[in-house]
Structure 1
Amino acid sequence: MDAREYRNCMGRFATGVTVVTCRTESGHHGLTANSFTSVSLDPPLVSVSVDRKTKAFEHMKNNAFTINILKSCQEDVAMHFAGRPKEEEPFTWIEGDHTPRLAESLAFIECAPWQEYDGGDHVLFVGEVENFAYTDDDALTYFSGKFGCLAAETQKA
């Protein structure tokens, strides 16, 4: 199977954009991820898939984390945590109740570690939701290698 073509195929699935944040020995760490999903309502669980080759993988093991769902105006934030940082950080850290999170996100979901599952070259980190909040605004989306926007008023239809 051609890995590039497989990746192109998977890119046809439109997703929201998140930054997963956690506390580390030296401060805070984050990574941009669109492989995030709700798993269960009872108990409240979410999952995120993290590449084993990333720095984030080591930081995430047995660690609490926050899923920060980004607003449409936060493309610079997504790029920063995807490894293309700006000279000046386009975000502000907030000390959450359980983990660090990003100010101005569309929503945040703070999680305690629940379980980790082998996912080939990735690991699926499942977290138990301990705190969350959200706002009504436009969402940052990702489709076919490009950022886009899902307008809040279309969500209410």
Structure 2
Amino acid sequence: MAIDPKELRQCLGHFTTGVTVITCLGADGEPHGATVNAFTAVSLDPPLVLVSLDRRSRLCGLVETEQRPFTVNVLEAAQKDLAMHFAGRPNQEVAWLPDSACGAPRLDGALAHVSCTPWQAYDGGDHVLYLGEVQEFVINPGKPLLFHTGKFHHLGADHQPLLWAGSADGPEGQAWIPNRAAH
């Protein structure tokens, strides 16, 4: 059975993701970026993350040919226009922060920055999968911009997070253990 790429994309779009902009410096010394929702943690030791970049994108070529450091900028809920800007619909002046310690540019106002040096690249069909070794990260307050079924979303004001049993994010850094009697 042949898989229809459009139908597959629609199916995969049901997996809600965060929205990131991957940035690096170009050969001209200017920052470049692309909106990407294919980003994931890979390893804590060594600290590795993975981004999937379209082979046809300028950013993919910059990272691939020059092994340039890059930053994963996790977008905040109010940064939909910035996501569109880096998705090929320029719509604003971009506010940049000073480059990270490894030399990768960072976007102002992002929820988090994960600055990496290239670790390994893998063939991913029409994409290249890049593992980056985390050199530096910054976390800022806010809520994430989300992507689901081809549309941007955000957590509502009434959102109440629920910690899972294995989480290290419980009160005072302790793992949250559910009340077994409540089950």
Q: Report the TM range for the smaller structure's normalisation.
A: over 0.9
The 1:135/1:156 distance shift into structure 2, 3 A limit, reads farther
**Residue 83 of structure 1: CA displacement?**
0.3
> Cα RMSD over matched residues?
1.4
TM-score by length of 1: 0.94
Larger Rg: 1 or 2? 2
**Structure 2 counterparts to residues 54-65 of structure 1, below 5 A:** 54-61=57-64, 62-65=67-70
Give unmatched runs, 5+ long, in structure 1.
none
Match of 1:36 in 2: 39
Preserved contact between residue 137 and residue 151 of structure 1 (Cα < 8 Å): no
Give aligned pairs, total: 155
Match of 1:11 in 2: 13
**Structure 2 counterparts to residues 88-103 of structure 1, below 5 A:** 88-89=92-93, 91-94=94-97, 95-98=99-102, 99-103=104-108
Higher relative contact order (CA 8 A, sep 6+): 1
Match of 1:113 in 2: 118
Provide the rounded CA distance (Å) in 2 between the counterparts of 1:68 and 1:56.
14
Q: State which drifts further: 51-60 or 147-156.
A: 147-156
Provide the rounded CA distance (Å) in 1 between the counterparts of 2:49 and 2:17.
15
**What is the DSSP-based 3-state SS (H/G/I as helix, E as strand, rest coil) of the residue aligned with 2:160?**
helix
Match of 1:154 in 2: 160
Choose between structure 1 and 2: higher strand proportion.
1
Q: Deviations over 1:5-64 (max 9, x none)?
A: 011001000000000000111211100000000000000000100111111111111111
TM-score by length of 2: 0.81
Give unmatched runs, 5+ long, in structure 2.
164-183
Provide the rounded CA distance (Å) in 1 between the counterparts of 2:74 and 2:15.
17
Q: State which drifts further: 48-57 or 66-75.
A: 48-57
The 1:49/1:67 distance shift into structure 2, 3 A limit, reads same
